């Protein structure tokens, strides 16, 4: 069974926590250590960012991390090589998050094969058109048992959400707002209503809520209305500041209690 499906099937009553960080930031060779530290500290799933020069859905924190990673020399090929060295040491799902251009340059078939060889269970491609997903990416990804995770926003129609739910597997990434990534202090009533509305649709796939989660209020709001929460910008900031995954996690867990 794919590790993503296994995670959700075995933790239906547990509120999951997934963290995002950008491969190659703060250091080129630190990616494997960050992953092993996050698993050891109880993180449920990890999203590893593929650095790209034009990350249109990302705010300044993740843009800066991508810039640093590229300057450090991180590439998709280098990332796969690093992940392959720890494949047998990591049991939680790893999801690559990156834009379409580098993946297409690498080649869809080669990308999915490298995912399998390096222990990657899924991929999130924010700028992948759904038709291209269905026609080009999904048939290849299915052969390699790689989950392609789709995003929905408060502006996504119910018809579209049900269509995505029907044609994807793994989980649905619920973006808390249509804006770029970045920490928020609270979710307003409109966002909470969006969470409740999607929760009431009884979708087939579990959902994870991301974008803006950085404290107790936003974490609890996400976990009450989905299988769990995804934290990106807050952790990326702390990791860049401390240069230590353990120290960044200590500070993150403190922030999530406030």
- Active-site residues, by number, are 47, 58
Q: Residues 6 or more apart from 139 whose CB is under 8 A from it? A: none
243 class by beta-carbon count within 10 Å (0-12 exposed, 13-18 middle, 19+ buried): exposed
For 170: left if phi > 0, alpha if psi spans -120 to 50, otherwise beta; the answer is: left
Residue 125 to residues 106, 119, 197, 230: CA-CA distances in angstroms?
14, 18, 25, 16
Is the distance from CB of 211 to CB of 175 less than 8 angstroms? yes
Nearest to 52 by CA among 41, 38, 67: 67
Give the span between the Cα atoms of 114 and 253, in whole angstroms: 33
Helix axes 189-199, 216-224, angle to 10 degrees: 30
The answer to whether the CB of 218 falls within 8 A of the CB of 177 is: no
DSSP letters, 43-73, are -SEEEEE---S--TT--HHHHHHHHHHHHHT
């Amino acid at each position: 069974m794919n590790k993503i499906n296994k995670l959700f099937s075995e933790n239906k009553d547990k509120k999951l926590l997934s963290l995002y960080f950008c491969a190659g930031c703060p250091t080129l060779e630190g990616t494997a250590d960050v992953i092993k530290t996050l698993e050891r500290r109880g993180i449920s799933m990890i999203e590893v960012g593929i650095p790209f020069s034009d990350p249109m859905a990302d705010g300044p924190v993740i843009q800066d991390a991508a810039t640093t990673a590229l300057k450090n020399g991180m590439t998709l090929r280098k990332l796969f090589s690093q992940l392959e060295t720890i494949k047998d040491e990591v049991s939680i799902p790893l999801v690559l998050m990156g834009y379409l251009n580098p993946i297409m340059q690498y080649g869809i078939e080669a990308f999915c094969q490298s995912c399998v060889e390096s222990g990657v269970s899924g991929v999130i491609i924010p700028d992948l058109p759904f038709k291209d997903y269905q026609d080009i990416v999904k048939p290849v990804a299915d052969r390699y048992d790689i989950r392609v995770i789709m995003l929905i926003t408060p502006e996504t129609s119910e018809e579209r959400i049900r269509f995505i739910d029907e044609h994807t597997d793994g989980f649905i990434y619920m973006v808390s707002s249509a804006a770029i990534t970045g920490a928020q202090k609270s979710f307003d009533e409109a966002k909470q209503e969006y969470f409740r509305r999607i929760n009431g649709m009884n979708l087939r796939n579990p959902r994870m809520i991301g974008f803006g989660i950085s404290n107790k209020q936003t974490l609890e709001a996400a976990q009450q209305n989905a299988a769990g929460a995804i934290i990106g910008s807050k952790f990326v900031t702390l990791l860049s500041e401390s240069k230590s995954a353990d120290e960044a996690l200590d500070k993150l867990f403190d922030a999530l209690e406030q």
